[in-house]
Amino acid sequence: MQQSHNQSDSVAATQFYLEKLFRISVRLLVVEDEPDLRQAIVQALTEEGFAVDEAADGHSGLHKATVWDYDAIVLDLMLPIKSGWELLSALRKTKSTPVLILTARDAVNDRVRGLDGGADDYLIKPFSIVELIARLRALIRRSVGQSSSTIDIGPITIHLADRTVTKAGEAVAMTAREYALVELLALHRGKLITRTMIYDHIFGEDDDSLSNLVDVHVSHIRKKLGADFIETRRGQGYILHD
């Protein structure tokens, strides 16, 4: 009986880990001081498949924004310790991470100040989470020069809006993690993507990782999309060509 319980616990733990592991993974930072709103945004974005880090004040937000390479940042303006204006100004001295300002300040001069100060988009509270997600995806596409919501690579098409992949018009079943890796490489096609970059974009700050995880997923993707779809640069990383 004890062995049965141990096996059951092991299966449950494995299932929990895999469910956590197979999240889609554009990595975002949410800087918002209101706990309930921050939690709601983080939960909604996580359920949508993003890897999400959070900060409750401008000081910790700036620290995370400069230490990690995020795909986009959701930034409130009225923050304790360091305001959103100050965070944005300091961030723009070193990084061009897309920033979406999320605030109740709806005066035209505030919007102009935010955009002129380096913000890439501006959304007024109260807001629709659906619109927030759509704006974030658009920001991320534009940041890598991808204006279209689809990417064609030979017979392979990556559909960014609904996060699916087709090959010669036929749907290809992929795990969330496999899709995430394909999307990351496709958005930066022609550029070498290191293992560190992959882990930084795929995992949030509370996620665990495995040393051979990337190799496993690359192998699975090649079986589904073709042996030559992803090129390995031994000791360096991976690259996907047009």
pLDDT of 12 reads: 45
Residue type, 192: L
Q: What is the pLDDT of residue 209?
A: 56
Query: What residues does each domain of the chain span?
Result: 2-143, 150-239
Say whether 150-239 and 2-143 share the same fold: no
Which residue numbers in the chain have pLDDT < 50? 1-2, 4-5, 8, 11-24
User: Do residues 87 and 62 touch, judged by C-beta distance below 8 A?
Assistant: yes
pLDDT digits (tens, 9 = 90+) for 85-142: 999 999 999 998 999 998 887 777 877 888 888 899 999 988 999 999 989 988 888 8
Q: Please provide the distance, in angstroms rounded to a whole number, between the alpha carbons at the two ends of the chain.
A: 56
Quick one: pLDDT at residue 207? Answer: 55
pLDDT for 20 equals: 37
Residue 94 has a pLDDT of 92
Report the SS3 class of residue 241. coil
Domain 2-143 fold: Rossmann fold (3.40.50)
The confidence score (pLDDT) of residue 6 equals: 53
Q: Please give the model's pTM, rounded to 2 decimal places.
A: 0.63
Which pair of tokens denotes residue 161? Answer: 């809006």
Concatenating the DSSP letter of every residue in 182-229 gives HHHHHHTTTS-EEHHHHHHHH--TT----TTHHHHHHHHHHHHH-TTS
What's the CA gap between 129 and 41, in Å, rounded?
A: 8
Q: What is the CATH number that goes with domain 150-239?
A: 1.10.10.10
Both structure tokens of 43: 């939960």
